[in-house]
Structure 1
Amino acid sequence: MLRLTELKLPLDHPEGALQQALCAAIGLRPAAVRDITIARRAWDARKRSAILLVYSVDFTVDDEAALLRRAAADKVLARTLIRTPDTRYHPVAQAPALLPQRPVVIGTGPCGIFAALILAEMGFRPIILDRGKVVRERTKDTWALWRRNQLTPESNVQFGEGGAGTFSDGKLWSGIKDPQHLGRKVLTEFVAAGAPEEILYVAKPHIGTFRLVTMVESLRAKIEALGGEYRFGTKVVDFLVETGRDGQRRMAGVVTEAGETIETRHVVLAIGHSARDTFFRLQAAGIFVEAKPFSIGVRIEHPQSIIDRARFGAFAGNPILGAADYKLVHHCTNGRSVYSFCMCPGGTVVAAASEPGRLVTNGMSQYSRAERNANAGIVVGITPEVDYPGDPLAGIALQRHWEERAFVAGGSNYCAPAQLVGDFLAGRASQSLGAVVPSYRPGVTPTDLATCLPDFAVAAMREALPAFGRQIQGFDMAEAVMTGVETRTSSPIRIRRDANFRSVNTQGLYPAGEGAGYAGGIFSAGVDGIRVAEAVGRDLAGLAVAA
């Protein structure tokens, strides 16, 4: 099978135009080209008056070698015609008949799910631990915060089956390098679990919260059918480490809050970016942890129609394009960078707190992206060298400080502090809101967000918003709403690992995903889970052979 890339057609092209364009590009009659399938579809909106669809198409012909030879002499075809890559997933190991100990996976976010799935497919029957609840029970607890101001510390947007990505836009793309096509495994498993097949070929696939819930359940059923064992409501409170005669530290097991010791030599640590108490337990166990940069800021909301018009012009509302997104960055005179984060077209701002007395925001969309507002984080990068030096866990203290300030500013009841962009730019507290109705639940309190953010972040955002308004007309509109605070953009720590994905000072511990500092979003976390599971599988299979 061959693949032709960069095949461009008008947004409103008629049915059959794709086949015609393909045949014209390769110089063959339609009867000679078979099995045409779309491998990728993106759009090019650099000219809003002439938006193009950009396709990669797979197809077969009788003599592929001849076509490739002819293409080699054509500058355009030589660049755009290739053999279709093999993106099927191939397991790297197989569990022996006798397995002395089962691997343990801690966490059931995207990283933990795919680590568990790959281990289960290789026959290693993983034990999967999660401090939270199954996804449907977790959803009820999350709604209790949104509707009744009731926080359940172990079951919320951050904790429970599906991880933080369950209550998000469900974005399934990333800029990571993936030469082994592991991302294809993530997407095909999601389709098998109930995601729409279009995620296999659209350039920026997403699935939304409601679909993610049923998909997570389906993946759990598959893992259990393959021998995996889930234990919810099981929080790990200690890590057992032994030092061998060679001086090497090795995992010996984990201890749960209920007092159970699970002996194992292989632990996948996929705990997410908000398991702060676990970070402290890791440090106490002598596992190497270091501070890493993250960002802090707010959520901003505009009418989705403004973003659509700014990005698509007369094509705004086209069903193929859907709700428009954006990606913005501004480098400030104070040396800080302000950028948009986790943009949610046609979505809502959600309460994402996981600790009592602290307030956190995030963004979420359903598959339809049909809500009236667009929202995104507008955040400022911070670094341990400048902003939280010293203790590797100092970033957690910084997060907690501003989350507590936001909690008080919002009314100490999980309502969020909010401010109009016009008031924020003018340096005055908001007394009321305007035409843009904030979507955050349980509600917002108009105030001055400068009391909930570092001074340098306030100054940087005041400089960046007008700059963003020059890129997207209306972005700095006076009645746009800002809601604070956004502190969980990424993990404040990194659990450093070696080339074999193991902790640099504790063999058998495999830090993985967003919480360990190696992913950022559903897709990259899933890919990292696969990579780590493969490393565990190779090691377990090697040990079995050696024995």
Structure 2
Amino acid sequence: MIRIQQVKLPIEHNEEDLYIKAAESLKIKREDISTLSVFRKSIDARKKDEIMFIYALDVELNIDYKISKRNNNVALVDPFIYEAEATGEKVLKNRPVIVGSGPAGLFCALLLAEKGYNPIILERGKKVKDRVKDIEKFWKDGTLNLDSNIQFGEGGAGTFSDGKLNTLIKDRSKRGKKVLEEFVAAGAPAEITYVNKPHIGTDLLRNVLVSIRKKIISLGGTFRFEECVTDIKIKDNSVYRIVTESDIIETDVLVLAIGHSARDTFAMLHGKLELTAKPFSIGVRIEHPQKMISEAQYGEMAGHPNLGPADYKFVHKCKNGRSVYTFCMCPGGVVTASASETGGVVTNGMSFHDRDLENANSAIVVSINPEDFGGENDPMAGIEFQRQWERKAFEIGGGNYKAPVQLFKDFKEKKVSTSFGEIYPTYRPGSTFANLWDCLPSYVCESLVEGISAFGNWLTDYDRTDAVLTGVETRTSSPLRITRDDDLQSNIRGIYPCGEGSGYAGGIMSASIDGLKVAEQIIKTYKPLNIKE
């Protein structure tokens, strides 16, 4: 297969134009190309009056062709093949158990099921259909279900997000391609396998999750929802049993694919497993008109159906040495109420597939280090640090899960806002004007002021006076890590920390990839069970 890089086309083009451009790049006839597929697609909007699509194309030819060494944009490539062989020799006494049905748990379970290991997946929350009802009730009237919310339930926290599938990690193992193809097979749009910034959208992602669950079950896996692990039993430095709220399960392989908000589970593990504090970030959500963002990025071409709503990604190094950056930007989306504990306000962002709502939102967060919260001596200190500011936000928001909000102009002046400008907050169950300096550390607020002002130099009107800030964003990543060794096990044999909550991922893609990575290690160690229930 031949891959052609840097194929440039204007906004208005069709599939035939791809064939023509590919033939021009190879200096062959159009009819010499037998098949063509898109490997990568991105937008070059550096020149607003000449926005281009940039493609990498994979082609098969029906003629003999010799690649010129002088053309750096053309190369031979191997077809995508993800391979993971079950070569383990150790006998499993019991079925492996996976705790958590987020991306890490799902893809770990999928590979184990495909290879005949019949995993059991325990999830404290509900199936996605029932989970949606509980979340909608919380957003409507502030009734919080502690085990069925934005953080807990089928698919994990990413189920109610933008469904972003980009990652900064290298994918030499081709695990990322495996993840994307499984999503497509489960009903996600085919374009996620090649667009530069793929996303599914929370509306489509919910159905995709159900399809993946059904596939795992058809391969011998078992899901047990509304079942929370309350204890693990250890003998001779190995796991042999786990305890849930309703059962005792014997197992010699336990995958901890818990989310970053499983605070009670972390407390149970503390003292049993080696935990260490790690850096994370906290801040606020900022909202702008999506039209403004698109016009700033695309100029007069904003709104063109081939472009879609624009996004952004910024980072700024502050005078105080901290980094402030945008995170989980949601074009045409909403800010979501994402609490999982009584008496705390937590925000996140969410978009549907079409990203067609009025506001754009993003987290703007500031780096926090273990020395900021006493993490050098206590791995659980980061959780208490997050909880402290979530409770402050709950308090100044009115004590009813309404979020504190402030216009950027007033935030700079430490004044409580009295009215909105052209932008209204999308957070439900509602918002309350308050001073966000009362629910965040001062060094975070100082960094936010400097960072947002700097971002205004890069995107017109980003620092506009009526930009709405909603607090607080605290669950950017896990505040601790469950240590694991080179064979991906914790200090207790048979326990495999995995994914975002365990401190080894930061989003849907990286968590899914880590789930595959852990499953690969298990199948290299143990023999398959090949026993259907």
Does TM, normalized by the shorter one, top 0.5? yes
1:158–1:164 contact (8 Å) kept in structure 2: yes
Q: Deviations over 1:267-291 (max 9, x none)?
A: 1110010000111111132x01000
Gapped runs of 5+ residues in structure 1? 244-248
Counterpart secondary structure, 2:496: strand
2:223 corresponds to: 230
Distance in 2 separating the partners of 1:15 and 1:284: 59
Distance in 2 separating the partners of 1:132 and 1:94: 34
1:423 corresponds to: 410
Once the 2 structures are TM-superposed, how far is the Cα of residue 97 of structure 1 from its aligned partner? Answer: 13
Gapped runs of 5+ residues in structure 2? none
Match of 2:189 among 178, 183, 196: 196
Once the 2 structures are TM-superposed, how far is the Cα of residue 320 of structure 1 from its aligned partner? Answer: 2.1
| Aligned: 1:127 with 2:128 | no
Counterpart secondary structure, 1:162: coil
| Aligned: 1:393 with 2:386 | no
Distance in 1 separating the partners of 2:410 and 2:307: 33
1:67 corresponds to: 66
Q: Which is bigger in relative contact order (C-alpha 8 A, separation at least 6)?
A: 2
Counterpart secondary structure, 1:23: helix
1:94–1:123 contact (8 Å) kept in structure 2: no
| Aligned: 1:250 with 2:238 | yes
Distance in 1 separating the partners of 2:90 and 2:378: 45
1:521 corresponds to: 507
1:214 corresponds to: 207
Once the 2 structures are TM-superposed, how far is the Cα of residue 265 of structure 1 from its aligned partner? Answer: 1.1
Distance in 2 separating the partners of 1:425 and 1:361: 21
Counterpart secondary structure, 2:348: strand
1:465 corresponds to: 452
Counterpart mapping for 1:105-504 below 5 A:
105-243=98-236, 249-258=237-246, 260-285=247-272, 287-389=273-375, 390-503=377-490
1:46 corresponds to: 46
The alpha-carbon distance between structure 1 residues 140 and 23, as it changes in their structure 2 partners (threshold 3 A), is same
Q: Deviations over 1:147-171 (max 9, x none)?
A: 1110000000000111000000000
1:433–1:446 contact (8 Å) kept in structure 2: no
Distance in 1 separating the partners of 2:129 and 2:12: 41
1:18 corresponds to: 18
Distance in 1 separating the partners of 2:307 and 2:63: 36
The alpha-carbon distance between structure 1 residues 160 and 543, as it changes in their structure 2 partners (threshold 3 A), is closer
Once the 2 structures are TM-superposed, how far is the Cα of residue 99 of structure 1 from its aligned partner? Answer: 5.0
Distance in 1 separating the partners of 2:80 and 2:122: 31
Counterpart secondary structure, 1:470: coil
RMSD value over aligned CA atoms? 1.7
The alpha-carbon distance between structure 1 residues 95 and 140, as it changes in their structure 2 partners (threshold 3 A), is farther
Once the 2 structures are TM-superposed, how far is the Cα of residue 24 of structure 1 from its aligned partner? Answer: 1.2
Which letter does structure 2 place at the counterpart of 1:500? D
Q: Deviations over 1:279-328 (max 9, x none)?
A: 1111132x010000000100000000111011111111122221111011
Once the 2 structures are TM-superposed, how far is the Cα of residue 393 of structure 1 from its aligned partner? Answer: 0.8
1:246 corresponds to: none
Which letter does structure 1 place at the counterpart of 2:204? R
Distance in 2 separating the partners of 1:22 and 1:327: 31
1:537 corresponds to: 523
Once the 2 structures are TM-superposed, how far is the Cα of residue 253 of structure 1 from its aligned partner? Answer: 2.0
Once the 2 structures are TM-superposed, how far is the Cα of residue 94 of structure 1 from its aligned partner? Answer: 6.6
Counterpart secondary structure, 2:283: strand
Counterpart secondary structure, 2:270: helix
Q: Deviations over 1:464-493 (max 9, x none)?
A: 111111111111111110000000000000
The normalised TM-score by structure 2 is: 0.96
Of 82-91 and 433-442, deviating more is 82-91
Which letter does structure 1 place at the counterpart of 2:296? A
Distance in 2 separating the partners of 1:435 and 1:416: 19
What fraction of aligned residue pairs are identical, expressed as a percent?
A: 49
1:28 corresponds to: 28
Which letter does structure 2 place at the counterpart of 1:416? A
1:238–1:281 contact (8 Å) kept in structure 2: yes
Q: Which has the higher helix share?
A: 1
Distance in 2 separating the partners of 1:108 and 1:58: 35
Counterpart secondary structure, 2:345: coil
Q: Deviations over 1:78-122 (max 9, x none)?
A: x22222333222232178998531100000011111110100000
The normalised TM-score by structure 1 is: 0.94
Once the 2 structures are TM-superposed, how far is the Cα of residue 29 of structure 1 from its aligned partner? Answer: 1.1
Once the 2 structures are TM-superposed, how far is the Cα of residue 241 of structure 1 from its aligned partner? Answer: 1.5
Distance in 2 separating the partners of 1:381 and 1:92: 40
Distance in 2 separating the partners of 1:220 and 1:469: 44
Distance in 1 separating the partners of 2:529 and 2:428: 51
Distance in 1 separating the partners of 2:44 and 2:126: 42
Which letter does structure 1 place at the counterpart of 2:150? V
